[in-house]
Amino acid sequence: MFLPFSWILGTSESSTFDSNPIDSYLQGLVGACGISVLCNLMRVNNFIQTCSDSESETESKQQSSSPVNSLKGSWRSTLQFWSVAVLLSLVGSRVSSLIVLEFCLRAVSAWASARTDANGRGLDLLLIQCQFSLGCGLTCTLAFLHQGAPHSSLSLLLAAALSWALASVSHSLWSHVARLYPLHSTERYCGKCITILTSGHTILTSLQRAVVLAFALATVASTATVYEHFLSQKDALKFWTPLTLCYTMLVFYIQEDQNRQTGTEALLHTVVLRLGAILVLMLTVGDWSDVVHVLITFLGEAVCMLLSQDLLQAVLQEEEDDTSLTEPRHKTRERTWRTSDDS
């Protein structure tokens, strides 16, 4: 079915499964570790912000002291980690490159819309939605850097070990904060909690910079991979130029539609539209293996979104709090104007 397009674009079906399975799994493990670090640090940031509020401090103590919630969170994080590691190892570098470039396009659209949005909710939601795209970016970067290397398996093993250590440290930090931060922040005898109390407000900013740097490197690797596999032939531009323009218009439409909606269903609807468009693109100019990889990407996005409901609810709750704080001000201004008009 895809042989004519593969012949025109200069691609082959056997080029997508020529990598070492061990290398692919190590790359997926590195990507899963990066996602784990992102989620754990975001949970730490949201928790300390909740504890800083005097009205919700008592509630946060009760939630953190519950062993059921801690066990549930540990079970969900473990399930997400190994599921994402397996799924990332199955996604090829061709589809991973397209996912990274598509996310960069979404990031530009979200940044443009956030400049006109007062609450900046789009950027916070984008950081939550970038989980699987971040994993694809890490795997694509590693595949690009180790392409043709004589000792790629050893290098990937060292990278996986380092990533595992960072993920373990971030998970240990989140577990410590969730259980003991409300107590240690008041008693002030724990070094970790004192450090978080004094410099915890910089966690989100540092995390955003690290994510931007990771995607900047992944963009270079993805561009080279896409050019090598899809755009190396001159006839390929005849297919990719109109498809790219149509997909860019679709991304901007999805971003505007997402700014008008809230909740998990809207995000899942956005994921279906985006990946559905990539699926149609691969049906047009890709191989049969690329279509399978896009379907695997559906599962990866679903796993990351469904198991990150606490982060999503925190962003939506913060938006509701900001709205409730701004509404009384508008009402007070209206009353002031009415009083001045009556006088």
Q: Say what the pLDDT of residue 265 is.
A: 67
Over 50: is that where the pLDDT of 2 sits? no
- The answer to whether residue 121 is domain-embedded is yes
- Using DSSP's 3-state secondary structure scheme, residue 314 falls into helix
How many Å apart are CA 16 and CA 279, to the nearest integer?
16
- Candidate from 256-265, 271-280, 293-302, 330-339 with smallest mean pLDDT: 330-339
Q: Say what the pLDDT of residue 226 is.
A: 85
How many Å apart are CA 317 and CA 125, to the nearest integer?
12
Token code pair at residue 53: 């509020």
pLDDT digits (tens, 9 = 90+) for 52-99: 764 344 444 444 444 334 444 567 778 889 999 999 999 988 899 989
How many Å apart are CA 235 and CA 227, to the nearest integer?
13
- The answer to whether residue 229 is domain-embedded is yes
Apex CA 199: angle with CA 166 and CA 213, to 5°? 50
- The answer to whether residue 197 is domain-embedded is yes
Q: Say what the pLDDT of residue 233 is.
A: 66
Radius of gyration, CA atoms only, the chain: 23
Q: Say what the pLDDT of residue 137 is.
A: 95
Complete DSSP assignment for 183-211: HHHHH---HHHHHHHHHGGGHHHHHHHHH
Complete DSSP assignment for 243-294: HHHHHHHHHHHHHHHHHH--SHHHHHHHHHHHHHHHHHHHHHHS-HHHHHHH
- The answer to whether residue 342 is domain-embedded is no
- The answer to whether residue 104 is domain-embedded is yes
- The answer to whether residue 33 is domain-embedded is yes
- The answer to whether residue 114 is domain-embedded is yes
CA 189 to each of CA 57, 172, 174, 185: distance values in angstroms, whole numbers, following the listed order: 19, 18, 18, 8
How many Å apart are CA 168 and CA 183, to the nearest integer?
23
- Candidate from 90-99, 178-187, 281-290, 312-321 with smallest mean pLDDT: 312-321
Determine the structural domain holding residue 285 and report its residue range.
Answer: 3-336
CA 40 to each of CA 6, 61, 267: distance values in angstroms, whole numbers, following the listed order: 42, 19, 21
Is this prediction's pTM over 0.75? yes
- State the average pLDDT for the chain: 76
Shortest CA distance to 6 belongs to which of 287, 292, 288? 287
How many Å apart are CA 19 and CA 158, to the nearest integer?
18
Distance of CA 307 to the CA centre of its chain: 12
pLDDT digits (tens, 9 = 90+) for 114-163: 654 544 556 777 888 899 999 999 999 999 998 877 888 899 999 999 99
Q: Say what the pLDDT of residue 19 is.
A: 66
Q: Say what the pLDDT of residue 56 is.
A: 45
- The answer to whether residue 343 is domain-embedded is no
**Domains in the chain: how many in total?**
1
How many Å apart are CA 77 and CA 99, to the nearest integer?
23
How many Å apart are CA 106 and CA 269, to the nearest integer?
15
Q: Can you tell me the mean pLDDT for 235-257?
A: 71
Q: Say what the pLDDT of residue 67 is.
A: 39
